[in-house]
Structure 1
Amino acid sequence: MSTPISVQLYTVRDALAADRDAVLRRLAGIGYAAVEPFDPTADPEGFRRVADDLGLRVSATHAYALLTEDTTAVLDAIATVGTDLAIVPGGIPHEEFTTTDGLRRTADLLNGLAERAAGHGVRIGYHNHWWEIEPRIDGRHALEALADLLAPEVFLEIDTYWAAVGGADVPALLGRLAGRVVALHVKDGPVVKGEPHTAVGAGAMPVPAVLAAAPDAWRVVELDECAGDVFAALADSHAYLTSLEAR
């Protein structure tokens, strides 16, 4: 794996709001060499300056703002924070993933964003939760049916935990979506809705098999709600993933 382990900054959103620079220093001290922001429009110049000073790469950024704000301004912010990968992490009604017509509308939305983003040198991706996995369209997970409707340049960031919660055999799903998957959200826990997450390697997810199914994808640790101290869990997650690389 040539890319470093990244961390989705939503994991530390409360601490980040209190002192962004201190949080980034702490993550770099743990050993993370990349980060994935969740709002590129929040002081992109300042964020980039601190990240560069710490040697942190920006693996990608989530960008809900692409659905609600001026597209050009958001794309400029994305370029400023230092990535060419922008991910829509939700914001589309869950019902759109329950019918073929809904999937077509979703694909049209994402393909349209991708066309506009291409002029800024940015690629558009989509990040799943469980509601794109649970519905079945012609016997397949809705996310798979959506992938068939997406323009070739639109990529996927597979949240491996939510895919499991939605009922997927995650390594098999990754194998079927291999050409689309650029990044993975790597998280762990009991694989139950509403329960907090644990450090990666301390829960029920088959993490080694998941990573083996997408060996070239960015590995992005995310803990939406953490059982225990979040920074300790992030340190344990980094140590576990690093140990897997050494095998």
Structure 2
Amino acid sequence: MDQFLLALCGIPASGKSALASVIVARLTKETDVVIVSTDDWRDDKYYAEFSPDNEKRVRRAALEKTEKAIGEGKSVIHDDTNYYTSMRHELYEITVRRGCSFATVHISTPVDDALSRNTERGSNIPEEVILRINEKLDVPGDRYAWDSPIATVDLGAHTLDDAADEIVERLKTLEPSSEIQETQDSGARSRLVDVITRQVVARFLQENPTYRNDPRVTKARREALARSKAEGLTPHETEQSLMEDLGALVEGER
């Protein structure tokens, strides 16, 4: 597996840290990967005396640690909210300079679930911080091809193991950022869309085994791939489109 920098994006208490740990466990035999978590610089005092200057120092320290690890040949999972596009672009720039791969995963766990998790674990994160970040979050991929997530995961609806397995398979399709054209029709994007649509079909057939030999399932995937290319859909949009088509197939027979 090629060296990568994976930026996790999501509100506090959405499950990012737990997901990062499971991904690392999956990859320890394949690559040297570390987690850089901004929580290492945030404590009770940080939240009690929050200031923009303190946040800037935390971000800068995490970026420096990330670039140092990349420079040492390690892959990195950057575990932070990364809720602004500009934050994720700072990480993307590291990969361009260093010639390794970049990817974003959007943890889309609903805010109500995150608030419940935050209370249950006795976290020091104030509720208003979670609500504020939820309101300000720039959804990955809304504006730029480089920012399109390789996966969007609601950890209130999916298990950590299933999410990690899908993400690891998608990480294997990446190419170094210095070689990726920031357009929607790169070879790396095509390979990612191929993997994603296969995973969607596999999940669908696992949940609906009576459709295993139904040619309409294969047809739906082919049409989704063609639509993705013709309309310049992002990988996430392609995934959602295929899921909707397969769901409509089931609904039409009820």
Of the two structures, which has the highest relative contact order with CA contacts closer than 8 Å and spacing of 6 or more? 2
Larger radius of gyration: 2
Q: TM-score range by the shorter chain?
A: 0.3 to 0.5
What TM-score, normalized by structure 1, do the two folds share? Answer: 0.34
- Structure with bigger strand share is 1
Structure having the higher helix fraction is: 2
